[in-house]
Amino acid sequence: MSFTDQNNGKGAVERLVSKDRMIVMLAVAAIVVLAGIYTVTGVGMNMSALQMTKMGKPIGAPMHMGNSPDWSPSYFTLVILMWWMMMIAMMTPSAAPTLLLFTALKRQGRDKRNATFHSGLLLAGYLMVWAAFSVMAALLQWGLEVTGLISASMMTINSKLFAGTIFLCTGFYQFSDLKNACLKQCRSPAYFLSENRRPGPIGAFRIGAHHGVYCLGCCWALMALLFVGGVMNLYWIVGLALYVLIEKTLPYGKTISNITGVILIITGCYTLLSALH
């Protein structure tokens, strides 16, 4: 093969990789936007996220508004979907670097014809992990409502003591070995993909699920803060989503995580002390 042919072949691969990257980015953007719209409009809920955000009160302030919802199978399903759509909107952007790198590697490997399809399966595996988390979050929300620890109508913690405890636990978790191990995987797409090579469509789905588990291990405690600020409070949703993206993609992620841990611990102590006065 001549030098010109080699250059032409390399150029064709680069064009395909660029095309794949654009397809994947547009797909991710579309998924995030649709999930965001679902979250903002609060499909099936008593109020939209915009209404709940406007009616938000200080952390731990009791909020009893309207009748408590009936936790029927249909309502439980809606709550699961609410959590899942929030997680899709919040967590998918931070998974984009891994998804894009996986697509580029697939395009240059044996499965190059199915690169975008396999990338879709990876994303599906990733989102399935957050679907499982959403089921657990809905069950926890149900339990907290039954015990009266959160407002059934506003989905917000009613106790400063409980809110302060969550701040403290989340802050200490930022320094845990599990948090740091999972954050390392999330911040290093190349390392993660090199350590988790699986061929074929099933392999792509499993890689996505594996990455989702690491992401869940990194961020589950942060998601608990939604109960403090309001499960459908847009300020907290957007704020946590931006923080997760910063923690996973910007330099000095571990330092950012540690600083956040200190801030959360201080906030927790202040909230607990204010509850005692």
Q: What is the mean pLDDT of each run of 10 residues along the chain (277 residues)?
A: 47 62 81 88 76 72 63 91 94 91 79 79 96 96 89 82 94 96 93 88 94 96 92 90 93 92 96 87
Burial 214-251 (b: 16+ CB within 10 A, else e): bbbbbbbbbbbbbbbbbbbbbebbeebbebbbebbeee
pLDDT on residue 198: 85
Which tens digit of pLDDT belongs to each residue from 93-121?
A: 999 999 988 888 877 766 667 778 888 99
pLDDT on residue 55: 73
Which tens digit of pLDDT belongs to each residue from 237-258?
A: 999 999 999 999 988 888 999 9
Nearest to 218 by CA among 163, 164, 256: 256
- What is the pTM (predicted TM-score) of this model? 0.87
Please, are residues 263 and 270 in contact by the beta-carbon 8 Å criterion?
Answer: no
Which residue ranges make up each domain of the chain?
3-275
**Phi/psi at 141 (5° precision):** -60, -40
List Cα–Cα distances, 190 to 100, 183, 187, 238, 240, in angstroms.
11, 14, 9, 27, 25
Q: Which two tokens stand for residue 222?
A: 């942060």
Question: Facing residues of 150 across strands?
Answer: 157
Q: Which two tokens stand for residue 36?
A: 């965001």
